[in-house]
Amino acid sequence: MIRKTTIFVLFILILSTLSCKEKRTYSKGKEIWANSFIDKKAPEFIVEKWLSEAPILDNKYLLIDFWATWCGPCRKLIPELNSYHKEFKDKLVVIGISAETEEIVEQVNNPIIEYYNAIDPQKRMSDSLGIKGIPHCILINPDGIVIWEGFPLLEGNELTNKVIKELINKK
C-alpha cells in the first residue's frame, strides 16, 4: 500500500511540474504568461520607433505595457494607463509598446492613448521577457529592478493606482 501511494504521489508531482513548465510561470503567488523578472534587473529597454515624443526616464519608475490593437483587454486597459500617466506623472513614466506596425497602431483613436507610445516589431524586450500573453505590464523601479509584473487585469492581482502608489512610495 505504501509503495502504491509513493508511486501515485511521485506521479502527481511529475505531472504538476510538467504542466507548470509548459503553461506558465509564477511570480509571488500569481500566474503570469511570461518569464518572471520580479526582484531582478529588467532586460534592456529597446523600442524601434517612438510614436509619441520619447520620455525622459531618469530617476523615474517605468510602467511598460506590452499590447496590441486587436487585443480587447489591451484596449480596455488604455483608460487606466492614461489615468496612471496623469496621477503619477512626477514619479512614473507609462509606456505602451506594440509589436505591430506604425500604421496599425496609429489607427487606434478610441480610446485615445495619452501616455508614451512606441513600436518594436522585432519584439526584442518582449522576447527577453518571454511574454506569451498580452496585455503584460512590468513596473520597474529607478534602479532597473522589476517590482511588479503580469496581466494587469488578473482578478485578485490587478494593477491599480493603489498598488502603484504603494510600490512607488515603498522606497
In degrees and rounded to multiples of 5, residue 23 shows phi and psi of -90, -60
Average pLDDT value for the chain: 85
At residue 45, the pLDDT reads 94
Strand segments, DSSP code E, in the chain are: 25-27, 30-32, 49-50, 61-67, 92-98, 116-119, 136-140, 146-150
At residue 111, the pLDDT reads 94
Q: What angle do CA 53, 98, 147 make, to 5 degrees?
A: 85
At residue 12, the pLDDT reads 40
At residue 117, the pLDDT reads 97
What gap in Å lies between CA 31 and CA 21, rounded to an integer? 12
At residue 8, the pLDDT reads 43
Q: Which residues of the chain have pLDDT under 50?
A: 5-27
What gap in Å lies between CA 68 and CA 73, rounded to an integer? 9
DSSP state of 110: S
The percentage of the chain sitting over the pLDDT mark of 70, rounded to a whole number, equals: 82
At residue 90, the pLDDT reads 95
At residue 20, the pLDDT reads 35
At residue 133, the pLDDT reads 93
Decide: helix, strand or coil at residue 41: strand
